[in-house]
Structure 1
Amino acid sequence: MDNNERAGWTKADKGAAVLAVVLGLGYVLPPIQRTVVAVWSAVLAPLAVVLPFSALLLLLAGTNGVFTALLQARLRDSDRAERLQERIEELQARLSEAREADDLSVDDLDDEQLELNRTMLAMLKANFRPLVWSTLVTVPTFLWLRWVFLAPAAGIAPAMVFVPLVGQLSWTATVVGPIKLWLAWYFGASLSTGFVARRLVRRVGLGQ
């Protein structure tokens, strides 16, 4: 994938962004949530039969972590972003020196910094692409998990889980603040698998 493909938004990217917004509305619009839950339940039903729920939750989190790492490697131009950051830091140093010396080149440097800021904005827009695509997985997963834990009649998740060094805890037990155990479990698995996946991606060079 070349830099032009990485930096620009394709029709598929824009379609994914629209779909991501629609899925996000599922948090406030019950019809969308019911549709997502029905589809996700059909997809996950076979796994829910053969896997313990804790393992299913780890599988979902791990899939999200790996998927996000792959998207970042394929859609984000890290080398270009690093070069741009180096140019901005160099320009800021030159601007500072010019202002201290009351150099007439400050106006020219301001124009250059303005152009770099526009380029950085375009880069941020390009780097937003992985987030849009990963949302297509994370949002439905969260809608489904919220339904599972808020609808006891679903009968999919057990009420309790064994936590090492702690013992039996409810999945909906509060860990800290508003964070529930199931959410901490999910995020912990997602972050750890994502970290490992990113290291593997960099090692095999899939993002090149």
Structure 2
Amino acid sequence: MDTTDDTGWSTADRVAGLLALVLAAGYVLSPIQTAVAMVWSAVLGPFTVILPFSVLVLLLAGTNGVFTALLQAKLRDSDRVERLQGRIEELQARQREAREADDLSVDDLDDEQLELNRTMLAMLKANFRPLVWSMLVTIPTFLWLRWVFLAPAAGIAPAMVFVPLVGQLSWTATVIGPVKLWLAWYFGASLSTGFVARRVVRRVGVGQ
């Protein structure tokens, strides 16, 4: 039976967290990245045939952005965190007033603030859950893309892509500093679709 601890993490959340850590190790351990990339290639293989690769990257980024927005709406209790923050700010104001008045009740207020801080820490841990679950999709996708563009033997992605207002560029062309075009293309699409998805989710009240 699935249990939830005092931080709001269930057994499934903890398993997802461990799996996310294993997947994240793929950034530095090539065998993990290769294994993830091969599985992801089997899943995405049919789409690489029917869709232009640039469109596939946009769809992957957009799907990740929407998925993350929905997870945040479903799993993150933002209203409770805001209420706690308001209580802490109110308590801090009362502490300042008590100290200025040399009121002995300031010690009681310090104890109350300590308890609030512990509660706030627990809430922050609980609100980390959406990130953990989204990592189960975003990390494999990113590892697959990196494998595709850094492993010529993959032979999936075309060498060039048409960029509006610029023209044909290599996917591995440097945009700024160490940032490559494929990375900017992916994160640009992910951030923009995630932003729109969060606004839509808030408007329709998903998760409330």
Whether TM exceeds 0.5 here: the answer is yes
| Structure 1 residue aligned with 2:55 | 55
Distance of 1:107 and 1:152 partners within structure 2? 66
SS of residue in 2 equivalent to 1:165: coil
**Structure 1 residue 65, shift from structure 2 partner:** 0.3
- Residue 5 of structure 1, CA deviation: 9.6
Partner of 2:27: 27
Q: CA deviation at 1:143?
A: 0.8
- Counterpart of 2:110 in structure 1 is 110
Amino acid at match of 2:200: L
TM-score by length of 2: 0.94
Counterpart check, 1:78 vs 2:39: no
The runs of 5 or more residues in structure 1 that have no matched partner are: none
Q: How many residues align?
A: 205
Q: Does the 8 Å CA contact 2:23/2:139 hold for their aligned counterparts? A: yes
Q: In structure 2, what is the Cα distance between the partners aligned to 1:79 and 1:7? A: 16
State the superposition RMSD in angstroms.
1.6
Name the CA distance, whole Å, in 2 between partners of 1:30 and 1:191. 27
* Structure 1 counterpart of 2:161: 161
What residue number does 1:45 align with? 45
Is 2:172–2:182's contact at 8 Å kept on the other side of the alignment?
A: yes
- Cα distance in 2 for partners of 1:116, 1:6 equals 14
Q: d(CA) in 1 for partners of 2:106 and 2:196?
A: 45
| Superposed displacement of residue 100, structure 1 | 2.2
* Long gaps (5+) in structure 2: none
Q: Does structure 1 retain, via aligned residues, the 8 Å contact 2:6–2:122? A: no
Q: Which moved more, 1:41-50 or 1:95-104?
A: 95-104
| CA drift at 1:176 | 1.6
- 1:157 counterpart SS class: coil
SS where residue 162 of structure 1 aligns? strand
Contact 1:6 1:76 in 2 (8 A): no
3-state SS of the aligned residue for 2:172? coil
What amino acid is the match of 1:155? G
Cα distance in structure 1, aligned partners of 2:172 and 2:100: 58
Q: Look up the match of 1:178.
A: 178
**Residues 18-53 of structure 1, C-alpha deviations (whole Å, 9 max, x = no match):** 110111111222221121011000001000001111
**SS of 1:90 mapped into structure 2:** helix
Paired with 2:39 and 2:178, the residues of 1 have a C-alpha distance of 28
What secondary structure, in the 3-state scheme, does the structure 1 residue paired with 2:118 have?
Answer: helix
| Aligned-partner SS, 1:168 | strand
Q: In the aligned structure 1, how far is the partner of 2:167 from the partner of 2:5?
A: 50
Distance (Å, rounded) in 2 between the aligned partners of 1:15 and 1:93: 41
Post-superposition CA distance 1:98-146 (Å, at most 9, x none):
2222221111111111011101100110010000000001111111111
Q: Describe the superposition over 1:142-183 as per-residue Cα deviations: whole angstroms up to 9, x where unpaired.
A: 111111111112111111111111122111112122211111
Identical aligned pairs, as a percentage? 83
